[in-house]
């Protein structure tokens, strides 16, 4: 399973990259706004900065909701760097845009997926990736992870090559469950990735190893 970081924050992207486990980045208009990046030129420059840090796929989301607008924006974004993936919302014109970009050989990520039916349509339109939003489904008291399982089962039966990118990840357990449920990629905030590190027995075990080492060396050195 590939690991993407879900942020537009350059420091966090660098921190994840330094761990040696980073395969790509996803952003969205909310994440860009959170970093205070506004205006097309600044947004484009920010994507270029992200693409300088990360070799893998970097999802850049269009703002337009009409076909022509999405194509124009997407084509401009795709020219920024070789690893840009155009993020397209799951709407009717978005489906047309996914087909257009498939025919152009430009990779896409269909975002805001909340049902298996949407995932089928996006795959049929040639999306490179689909982003089911696990956490936001959980927030409505339904089971986000069940959606990953359903999409994985359907794509396997039907032979769809679209990758399942588990998104809206809120914690380390989501990452483990997404891995079990058949996600190809998981995109997470840095704190969820770092959450995978934690286990109290690791801390206790390391403390004991180091204490035993100190004690043995003190005895040996008199």
- Of 108 and 187, the one with the shorter C-beta distance to ligand E4P is 187
Asked if 6 is part of the footprint of ligand E4P (rule: CB under 6 A), the reply reads: yes
In the numeric block, which tokens belong to residue 217? 């060396």
Burial group, residue 212, by CB count within 10 angstroms (0-12, 13-18, 19+): exposed
Asked if 131 is part of the footprint of ligand E4P (rule: CB under 6 A), the reply reads: yes
Among 12, 16, 24, 26, binds ligand E4P (CB under 6 A): 26
Asked if 108 is part of the footprint of ligand E4P (rule: CB under 6 A), the reply reads: no
Compute CA 202 distance to the chain's CA centroid, rounded to the nearest angstrom.
Answer: 28
> Catalytic: 48?
no
Asked if 28 is part of the footprint of ligand E4P (rule: CB under 6 A), the reply reads: yes
Asked if 113 is part of the footprint of ligand E4P (rule: CB under 6 A), the reply reads: no
Catalytic residue among 72, 87, 173, 215: 87
Q: Which residues of 34-47 are buried (b: 16+ CB within 10 A; e: fewer)?
A: eeebeeeeebbebb
Residue 131 beta carbon to ligand E4P: minimum distance, rounded to whole angstroms: 5
Among 80, 110, 167, 178, binds ligand E4P (CB under 6 A): 167
> Which long-range contacts (C-beta less than 8 Å, at least 24 apart) are formed by 119-122?
119/147, 119/151, 119/154, 119/155, 119/162, 119/164, 120/154, 120/158, 120/160, 121/90, 121/95, 122/90, 122/95, 122/98, 122/162
Asked if 168 is part of the footprint of ligand E4P (rule: CB under 6 A), the reply reads: yes
Binding-site ranges for ligand E4P (CB under 6 A):
6, 26, 28, 111, 131, 133, 135-136, 167-168, 187
Q: Cite the active site residues.
A: 87
């Amino acid at each position: 399973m590939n690991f993407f970081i879900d942020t537009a924050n350059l420091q966090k992207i660098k921190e994840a990259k330094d761990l040696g486990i980073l395969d790509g980045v996803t952003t969205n208009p909310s994440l860009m706004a959170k970093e205070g990046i506004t205006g097309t030129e600044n947004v484009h420059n920010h994507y270029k900065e992200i693409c300088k840090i990360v070799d893998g796929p970097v999802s850049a989301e269009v703002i337009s909701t009409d076909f022509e607008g999405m194509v124009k924006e997407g084509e401009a974004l795709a020219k920024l760097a070789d690893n840009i993936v155009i993020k397209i919302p799951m709407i009717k014109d978005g489906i047309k845009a996914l087909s257009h970009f498939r025919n152009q050989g430009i990779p896409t990520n269909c975002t805001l997926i909340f049902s298996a039916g949407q995932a089928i349509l996006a795959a049929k339109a040639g999306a490179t990736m689909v982003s089911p939003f696990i956490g936001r489904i959980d927030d409505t008291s339904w089971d986000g992870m069940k959606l990953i399982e359903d999409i994985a089962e359907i794509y396997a039966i039907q032979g769809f090559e679209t990758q399942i990118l588990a998104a809206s990840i809120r914690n380390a357990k989501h990452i483990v469950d997404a891995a079990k449920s058949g996600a190809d990629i998981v995109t997470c905030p840095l704190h969820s990735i770092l959450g995978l590190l934690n286990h109290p027995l690791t801390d206790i075990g390391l403390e004991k190893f180091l204490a035993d080492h100190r004690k043995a060396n003190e005895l040996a050195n008199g």
